Amino acid sequence: MTARMLAVWFAMLVVASINGGIREAVLIPRLGEVAGRAVSSVTLSLLILLLTYLTIEWLGPESARSAWFIGGVWVGLTLAFEFIAGHYLFGTPWEQLTEDYHVLRGRIWILVLITLVAAPRICAAARGLFAGAGTA
């Protein structure tokens, strides 16, 4: 399951990169910074749900707990990539990296992280993978 979980996360990384390019090239110039980022966050969340739905059976979580585990690993990988690679590899200042976490300023990036952690469990339930198993 580990290799598959990582493969799906890498696919999400590619999708997120494309989404970010569209955000910067199209959404922000047309909608403004806050609205462009909000639309991008919602779009990425929907794409995460779609990709997870398409791959959840292949991922093969054995229980609801393992589905939550997959989501937790994805969030951890995402945060590590965002902050470690973002700062040390791409040279993005810490202040800029944390800007997307200012919900009161209209930044809803946290929605993407919530979607990441919950998507495996939601999609497993939608696919009926744990029907009748009595797990949370």
Closest CA to 51 of 74, 69, 35, 72: 74
pLDDT for position 130:
84
pLDDT for position 100:
86
End-to-end CA distance of the chain: give it in Å, rounded.
20
Widest Cα–Cα separation across the chain: 49
Q: How does pLDDT run across 5-38, given as a tens digit for each residue?
A: 999 999 999 999 999 999 999 999 999 999 999 9
pLDDT for position 35:
95
Query: Which has more pLDDT, 37 or 100?
Result: 37
Domains of the chain, residue spans: 2-126
Q: How does pLDDT run across 62-96, given as a tens digit for each residue?
A: 999 999 999 999 999 999 999 999 999 999 999 98
Does residue 132 carry a pLDDT above 80? no
3-state SS of the chain: helix, strand, coil percent to 5? 80, 0, 20
Place of tokens 């990169």: 17
Spatial distance between the Cα atoms of 27 and 38, rounded to a whole number of angstroms: 10
Confidence of residue 133 (pLDDT cuts 50, 70, 90): low
Q: How does pLDDT run across 43-65, given as a tens digit for each residue?
A: 999 999 999 999 999 999 999 99
Residue percentage of the chain with pLDDT more than 90: 87
Does residue 103 carry a pLDDT above 60? yes
